[in-house]
Amino acid sequence: MNKAMLIEAIANATGFSKTECKEVLEAAIATIETQLKKGEEVSIAGFGSFVTVDRKPRRGVNPATGKPMSIPAKRVPKFKFGKPFKELVKNSSGAKSPAKPAAKPAR
């Protein structure tokens, strides 16, 4: 589902126009972005929380060259799912669990 499809689904569920639903959705997204820029958390009970986390600087490998490189510290957005939302998805019918990768043999 993309943004346009989400707006249409909200309009169908609420009876509001697509224009009104688009304005509300865009305002909600903008509000979440503003709060995250301030370092604030946005929690929606039963759904989850939008937060920012600070990643420490670390060493990595350039995939193109294979050479080691330094990855700087940065702040990134993160979404933590709420328990009721996790349970809803977990208990949905017809959903397949992703296959677990095979264990690596011991050396």
* pLDDT exceeds cutoff 70 at 69: yes
In a shared domain, residues 45 and 87: yes
Q: Is residue 48 part of a domain?
A: yes
Average pLDDT over residues 71-98: 84
In a shared domain, residues 25 and 47: no
For the chain, the domain total comes to 2
In a shared domain, residues 33 and 73: no
Q: For residue 19, what are the domain limits? A: 1-38
In a shared domain, residues 84 and 62: yes
The larger pLDDT score, comparing residue 92 to residue 60, is at 60
Q: Using CB atoms within 10 A of its CB, is residue 7 exposed (0-12), middle (13-18) or buried (19+)?
A: buried
Q: Is residue 100 part of a domain?
A: no
* pLDDT exceeds cutoff 80 at 99: no
pLDDT in tens, 1-23: 999 999 999 999 999 999 999 99
Q: Where are the alpha helices (DSSP H) in 15-82?
A: 18-37
In a shared domain, residues 25 and 53: no
In a shared domain, residues 88 and 62: yes
In a shared domain, residues 50 and 81: yes
Q: 81 has which bridge partners? A: 48
Tell me which residue of 36, 38, 49, 9 sits closest to 25, measured CA to CA. 9
